[in-house]
């Protein structure tokens, strides 16, 4: 059982995890490697400390009435995925469902859905169409909002983003410099090396050290995203992984 006060609760839409193909078991969707990576981080944390309480708690949430609950549950069991709980909600009740389940990060392939949730103060991110590898969990942070924190209007999910990144940094600190199942990358799109340095210092003050940092100085983000293939990109609001 996960510790409700310590676990990082991540909700992922079933449409992203499973491909609704014909048959008794759904096929693997774009987010399937993400769940494997989250599970691998948990396994490594428990190997280091069987009493570890800072773990990922995965919630699968379905808002598509065409996906059958029995097939979702049986498909999860078939693939050996570790899921804390299943939630079946309408789109209208999605935000309430996430809040009730103390979700700290919502992941979806539907931009409108992610925006709806983010505007209500729940940290949200888009999953890319390109599958990220399952060997390690790769999280990319957008440094621009960190450098310019006083933009107007302030995104409703900013506080949630800062809290989540701090907890993520604490989790990353459980592992050594090499061989970690969790990798955190900082990308600063605008500004020069000074902006990147400010973002790094700010993150360190929150207890988060990154594995890699990239200063793009106005260059497109697309090439570095294609190279690193992060599972998701966190920033103010909802950022496309295809940019």
CATH fold, domain 8-126, is Rossmann fold (3.40.50)
Task: Say if residues 32 and 60 touch (Cβ distance below 8 Å).
Answer: no
Domain ranges (residues) in the chain: 8-126, 137-234
Residue 23 Rama label (left phi>0; alpha psi -120 to 50; beta) = left
What is the structure's pLDDT at 122?
Answer: 92
The residue among 150 and 164 whose pLDDT is bigger is 164
Q: Across residues 171-188, what is the average pLDDT?
A: 92
CATH fold, domain 137-234, is Rossmann fold (3.40.50)
Task: Express each pLDDT in 117-145 by its tens digit.
Answer: 998 989 999 887 666 666 789 999 888 87
In this prediction, what percent of the chain has a pLDDT beyond 70? Answer: 89
pLDDT class of 91 with cuts at 50, 70, 90: confident
Task: Express each pLDDT in 19-29 by its tens digit.
Answer: 877 678 899 99
Question: If you average pLDDT over every residue of the chain, what do you get?
Answer: 86
What is the structure's pLDDT at 22?
Answer: 65
pLDDT above 70: residue 154: no
β-sheet bridge partners, residue 137: 182
pLDDT above 90: residue 7: yes
Structure tokens of 41?
């981080």
Nearest in space to 107 (alpha carbons), one of 167, 56, 41, 159: 56
Name residue, tokens 């090396």. Answer: 193
What is the structure's pLDDT at 206?
Answer: 83
pLDDT above 90: residue 47: yes
Task: Express each pLDDT in 49-75 by its tens digit.
Answer: 999 999 999 999 998 765 688 889 999
């Amino acid at each position: 059982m996960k510790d409700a006060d310590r676990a990082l609760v991540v909700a992922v839409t079933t449409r992203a995890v499973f491909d609704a193909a014909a048959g008794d078991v759904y096929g693997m969707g774009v987010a399937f490697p993400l769940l494997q990576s989250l599970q691998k981080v948990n396994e490594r944390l428990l190997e280091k400390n069987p009493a570890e309480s800072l773990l990922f708690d995965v919630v699968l949430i379905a808002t598509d009435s065409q996906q059958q609950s029995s097939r979702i549950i049986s498909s999860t069991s078939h693939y050996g995925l570790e899921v804390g709980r299943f939630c079946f909600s309408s789109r209208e009740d999605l935000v309430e469902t996430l809040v009730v389940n103390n979700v700290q990060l919502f992941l979806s392939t539907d931009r409108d859905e992610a925006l709806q949730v983010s505007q209500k103060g729940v940290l949200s991110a888009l999953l890319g169409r390109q599958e990220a590898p399952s060997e390690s969990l790769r999280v990319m942070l957008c440094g621009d909002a960190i450098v310019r924190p006083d933009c107007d209007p302030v995104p409703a999910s900013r506080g949630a983003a800062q809290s989540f990144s701090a907890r993520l940094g604490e989790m990353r600190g459980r592992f050594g410099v090499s061989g970690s199942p969790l990798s955190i990358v900082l990308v600063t799109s605008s500004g020069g090396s000074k902006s990147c340095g400010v973002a790094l210092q700010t993150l360190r003050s929150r207890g988060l050290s990154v594995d890699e940092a990239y200063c793009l100085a106005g260059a497109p983000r697309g090439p570095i995203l294609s190279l690193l293939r992060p599972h998701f990109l966190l920033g103010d609001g909802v950022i496309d992984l295809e940019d």
